[in-house]
Amino acid sequence: MRNVLAIAFVLAPAAALAHHSAIRFDLTIRDHMVTGIVKEFAPANPHTKIVLTVTRDVEYEGHSRNNYYRGGWREGMVKVGDKITLNAAPTRDGSDGGYALGIIAADGTRF
Amino acid sequence: MPRLSLKLGATLLGLTIASAALAKPDFTGVWGNYRAPGTAAPQRGAAQAPLPLKPEAKAKVDAYHALVDSRGDTPGGFCLGTGMPGSMLGSGGYPMEIVQHESVILVVFEAHAEIRRIYLGERANEEDLFPDRNGYSFGRWEGDKLIVETTHLKEAVDQGRYPHSANAKVVEEYSMVVNDDGTKVLTSKMTMTDPDFYTQPITAEKKWQLQPGVRLLPYECNEPTWEEHLDRLRQGGETG
């Protein structure tokens, strides 16, 4: 029982990291483009994580992996080191980051 | 005599057509949100009519929203399935797959890989049931319509549109038509009765359209959390 409780205790903070919300972003702005070098591209549900080196490393959130797939993204289309452009709704408070509404891959593919 | 045979034949033909029209339809397939031809996609965040909540229920729902709205927290953001009736009324806009058997109909929602089972035929014993976000659904065919009654729900103030108590009962009537353009359209008319939360029954309608060639994608939501946890363990950030 002690082990079970210990595992539950350890997992609790990790579970909190599953939190995703688009409320930080101003989704009414649909034409904010940012170009950078991909440091990390992690397609996932419910939201994708993208780290782009612009002038410094900036983390972006994006649609779910499934929605990107239905929008045309396929495995291997975005790789570390690629120069890509995000159509990224900015944060409401002006801090770094944004919500990737769309992506232009290095080869020009849009999804 | 030939005239009598003709009449009899016509009557039999009519009966055959009528019974075919009332035959159990097969809902098996992948369904997506229905959009009538030429209409725009519905706007998110559009104003909605206030719900006829009782004061105590409204206080509970308001307290929940005061807690999460400014952060944008939702069950889905924490990888939790929607639960009834939200699962059947939208499920985040993702498709759902229906697999129809004689004794059970499986409704698999892509979002969160949430599964709803609609049992037909033999009802589970009351003592074997317990509350769940999707409740216990039992259905019956009435001609070509499927009637589904859902009970044993958990209280859910976190439902996106229709919060409810544990005593809510949801009745859905499913029917399928084929449009002139050949599109199969599935309609669910829902009535939720919940005297603990509402002053009157809640009604809603949802339409889906069959999406031939579409497959449901896996939706493993907790994998990044697990990987981040492993990374922290590898870095010695957590012990336990």
Taking residues B232-240, report their average pLDDT: 78
Write the DSSP assignment of A16-76 as a string of letters: HTT---STTB-TT----EEEEEEEEEE--SS-EEEEEESSSEEEEEE--HHHHHHTT--TT
Chain B residues in contact with A9 by the CB 8 A cut-off are 240
Phi, psi dihedral angles at B127 (to 5 degrees): -70, -15
- A70 within some domain: yes
Chain B residues in contact with A64 by the CB 8 A cut-off are 219
**pLDDT at B19 > cutoff 80:** no
- CB pair distance less than 8 Å for B225 and A7: no
CB A20 within 8 A of CB A61: yes
Chain B residues in contact with A23 by the CB 8 A cut-off are 70-72
Q: Could you read off the pLDDT of A23-70 as tens digits, one per residue?
A: 889 999 999 999 999 999 999 998 999 999 999 999 999 999 999 999
- A69 within some domain: yes
Q: Which residues of A touch B (CB under 8 A)?
A: 6-7, 9-11, 13-15, 17-24, 42, 44-46, 49, 64-66, 69
For residue B156, give the DSSP letter: B
- A10 within some domain: no
Question: What are the DSSP E strand ranges found in B15-111?
Answer: 29-33, 96-100, 104-109
Dihedral (C-alpha) A27, A32, A36, A39: value to the nearest 10 degrees? 0
Contacts of B105 (CB under 8 A, 6+ apart): B27, B98, B99, B117, B118, B120, B139, B146
ipTM above 0.90, yes or no: no
A-B CB pairs within 8 A amount to: 58
- A9 within some domain: no
Domain ranges across chain B? 24-33+50-234
Tell me the pLDDT band of A15, cut-offs 50, 70 and 90. Answer: very low
Q: Which of B79, B96, B233 has the most A C-beta neighbours within 10 Å, making it the best mutation to test the interface with A?
A: B79
CATH number at residue A94: 2.40.50.1010
Q: Which of A9, A66, A67 has the most B C-beta neighbours within 10 Å, making it the best mutation to test the interface with B?
A: A66
- A8 within some domain: no
- CB pair distance less than 8 Å for B240 and A9: yes
Domain residue limits at A42: 21-104
**pLDDT at A6 > cutoff 50:** no
Tell me the pLDDT band of B36, cut-offs 50, 70 and 90. Answer: confident
Q: Could you read off the pLDDT of B111-163 as tens digits, one per residue?
A: 999 999 999 989 999 999 999 999 999 999 999 999 999 999 999 999 999 99
- d(Cα B93, Cα B81) in Å, to the nearest integer? 13
- A65 within some domain: yes
- A110 within some domain: no
- A43 within some domain: yes
Q: Which of B210, B160, B182 is nearest to B34 (CA)?
A: B210
Number of domains in chain A: 1
